[in-house]
Amino acid sequence: MKKDLIATRQAILNGEIHPQSVAEACLDIAQGAQCRDAFLLLTPETFEQTASQVAIQTRPLAGLAVSVKDLFDVQGQLTAAGSVVLRDQPLAQKDAQAVARLRAAGAGLIGRTNMVEFAFSGVGVNPHHGTPAAWDALTDTAAGDAQDPRVPGGSSSGAAVSVATGAAFIGLGSDTGGSIRIPAALNGIVGFKNTARWVPTQGALPLSTTMDTVCAMTRTVRDTILAHEILSGRRVPQTDKPLSSYRLAVVRDFMQDSMDAPVSRAFERSLQTLRAAGAQIEEIALPELLEIGPMMRTGGFSPAESYAWHRQHLAQNAELYDPRVAQRIRIGAGMMAHEYIDLLHARADWIQRVEAALRQHDAVLSPTTPIVAPLLRDVAPGPERDAEFFRVNSLLLRNTAAVNTLDGCGISLPCHAPGELPVGLMAWHGAMHDDTLLQLALLLEPLLQKA
């Protein structure tokens, strides 16, 4: 079975395959060992009903499988956000707006995917529902040793594995500090964080109302463009600009600090390949990135805004929370009102200065994460592993979260070779540069796959 959406849809239109046979193949994968702990709920009956609808093949998604992260409302389903805290809440009365747009485009909703509890980590570990193992879409095998699994990245962990394995063609998720791009990088797929304002968050349980972004993962850039067009309700313009016409930048400080050897090797090889293909890549200084830590010294937006949402649940049911998540949420209890307002002003000023510094460039290229996926046994739930968990979490989130701080957009593309652990290359810029990044990514993708 083809695992990219547009090619599969074309095969359906050509009469080569039927949506129902594709649905059956996706369900087989979703129920297989490679998707263990990736789904919290499978909905085969409604999925197959969509695939069997008359003329479903004429709709943009042709009844093909779409997975939904557990923080989105789907009518008639429980929205638990990977927790057990909300297990007694009423079922959703209507679809989240993003889900409704996908459904209207002919999505076959295959099920709800596992995630970090309340989306508050970039590692992907969940103590309540298990943790899916990272899967390398490039080789269609487990990332690393299947007997010693690696984390899938988070918070959209199950969404990434559903796409990487071929159980779903689109994994609907969210990205507050990297929750789409991190798992995309660690599973060898494409993850696009659009400018936040493009897609409504209505019907998605919030982590940070300031930083939350609704977006998706796919296996190809063309599929990502289609998913973004559906979610944003707009068309991405086409262009025939050559790679040499893009002005690209690389920032050595911050974005490349503490890189491990596999990431460094894949990233440098990718830059060499792109330069050989005619890319204009300039090394620049961007000292503003070093201001992020001091600016977020009181915790940043996510703890404060999530504490406002969770404070009553924490007061009543703190023992039901993942202790690591509860610890991060409680940081927000200590933020003073003036500190929050100061942070709003500081961020606005910082965004203005960074955008001015990048005005002469079409995109910045960075490693999506400075490290490859850690081994699950090193960061699994347990207080004896908390120090390593928080160290790894900080590294995984560092590069991607900078783009969220910028209110920007970024796309992670796989850039590793067969036999290597998955590594992502991220192209990013400020707000409303989405179309340029997507057009550039179409050019980068085939080159990175040959690197």
Which amino acid, 255? M
Q: Residue 179 catalytic?
A: yes
Active-site annotation holder among 67, 83, 121, 155: 155
d(CA 211, CA 157) in angstroms, rounded, equals: 19
The answer to whether 101 touches 72, Cβ cutoff 8 Å, is no
- 309 alpha carbon, distance to own chain's centre: 23
d(CA 117, CA 128) in angstroms, rounded, equals: 9
d(CA 449, CA 451) in angstroms, rounded, equals: 6
Enumerate residues 6+ apart whose C-beta is below 8 A from 90. Answer: none
Active-site annotation holder among 67, 69, 156, 208: 69
d(CA 434, CA 358) in angstroms, rounded, equals: 15
Active-site annotation holder among 121, 157, 162, 179: 179
The answer to whether 37 touches 132, Cβ cutoff 8 Å, is yes
d(CA 62, CA 50) in angstroms, rounded, equals: 9
Residue 159 token pair: 């969404």
The answer to whether 377 touches 147, Cβ cutoff 8 Å, is no
C-alpha closest to that of 441 among 169, 181, 164: 181
Element (H, E) at 19: helix 19-30
Enumerate residues 6+ apart whose C-beta is below 8 A from 40. Answer: 70, 80, 82, 111, 112, 113, 114, 129, 158
Residues with a catalytic annotation lie at 69, 155, 179
